[in-house]
Structure 1
Amino acid sequence: MSRSTDVVSVKTGLVSITFRQLGVDAVLDVMRRAELSAVEWGGDVHVPAGDVAAAKRTATASADHGVAVVAYGSYYRAGETAPGDFDDVLRTAVALGAPRIRVWAGAAGSADVTPERRDRVAADLRRITELAAREGVEIAVEHHPNTLTDTLDSALALYAAAGHPGLRPYWQPRLGLGPAEALREVTALLPALVTVHVFTWTADGARRPLAEGAPLWEPVLGALRDRDDAERYALLEFVQDDDPEALVRDAVTLRSWLAGS
């Protein structure tokens, strides 16, 4: 299969939950059309936690399509999910060949948690990061509303409290976030930041063509592109109308930004 080669250190890809309505092979076919080379497989539909056979099949299918598996998108909530459930998540990620596992930092926003609950989240992040590191896997914490990464200050404090070098941030813009604040957050998270989830939404959550987010995304992606200390990923997510054609269009936009054109 022919595929364009990214010429910058930021690789383009897809978060598979963008197309929950499609099976694994159909997702990979859309990625081929969009010329995307990396995927984060979601743990809710495509590769359920504990289904090692599905993980192995998906790993093989991805390799056959020339797509690198760069993450396993779990729904493990540190400090909230039953600790033993992480065993299935880790086994699945290893079978999938994923170098990192995406998790969430608890189940409540930073303004609503007690110090004890925050400590529990940090301790669990430290625990699962250590377990994953034994298998050569990193833990990536998604920056998400209603978790302890809902603000930059809370996220940085959480990472410091967890205190493990295998813990990575996963950044995405919050609804209504302005370009200057977005750039400030991403800059503060570097060099640990490995992946951004890329989409354009209005302040009230309506999905729009990615190109309309140029004032935010061009500086953010430029900050990632201008570093040469690690390979990073810009993964498209939540395209307009869940439409594969929207992904193809947005992928063209994303590559043009990363190329600086």
Structure 2
Amino acid sequence: MAESAASQYVDQFSCSVCLDPLKEPVTIPCGHSYCMSCITDYWGQKEQGPPYRCPQCRESFSQRPLLKKNTLIAEMMETLQKTSLQTAAVECDVCTTEKNRAVKSCLQCLASFCQTHLQLHYESPAFMKHKLVEASRNIQENICHSHGKPLEIYCQEDHQCICNLCMIDSHKNHSVVSVDSEWASKKKELKEIKLACQKLIQERERGQREISEAVKSFKSSALETMEDIEKVFTELICSLEKKHSEIKEQIRAQEKTEIDRAEELHKHLDQELTELRKRQARELRNF
């Protein structure tokens, strides 16, 4: 079952830049994932200056996002790739001349079969109860080393796959479920984790946008305030210069008025002094 799921999901975790399975996966703020080297090279191109864009959704970022390895996806890719390798090009164990590709492996027969030789498992009552799984190179990994039975049961207490005999032997009274049931549960859990991660990424992205908008608003407000202050100081300086000029003109006008008055008084005193001297001279002659 795990091998079947791997073949279905491995293509979903491919890098949209190189189109290969993700290597050192990183997730950027918009939620899309890429190989570390692919997105680094993509943003490192000369024409890829700020703003930096997502190759898929084209969302832009004013600053280059910090890239950190997505551990969850990395572990998933490692598991999926290992399982995919197990199922790749498995040959039929029954074919004698030209080996056909195996489509199923039997845990009871410990062999893999092509579509033709597999028919016996569907048609013969003796083989119908055999446990068939996706074709695998390492079929022995699905067999209990102690009892030689298929590992069809999962022990939830010891977190391992066991066979029917293990369940009544070393795992007696343990909480157990079928492997298929456990895999379905793990798949559901993985989906929930993925959704939680996407939600967390969206929340962090929203927070990042809010901070960016707040910084932009603060810068805009600060610039507007600086412009207002500059305008006020310019007007104040102009007003002071105008007042300074008016006061200088008033002082010059007052100075001219006082000088003119003083000169007029000085002229009048000269005339009086001249008359007094003439009068004095006449008095002296008559005396």
TM-score normalised by the shorter chain: which range applies? under 0.3
Q: Which has the higher strand share?
A: 1
Question: TM-score scaled to structure 2, two decimals?
Answer: 0.23
Q: Which has the higher helix share?
A: 2
Structure number, greater radius of gyration? 2
Question: TM-score scaled to structure 1, two decimals?
Answer: 0.25
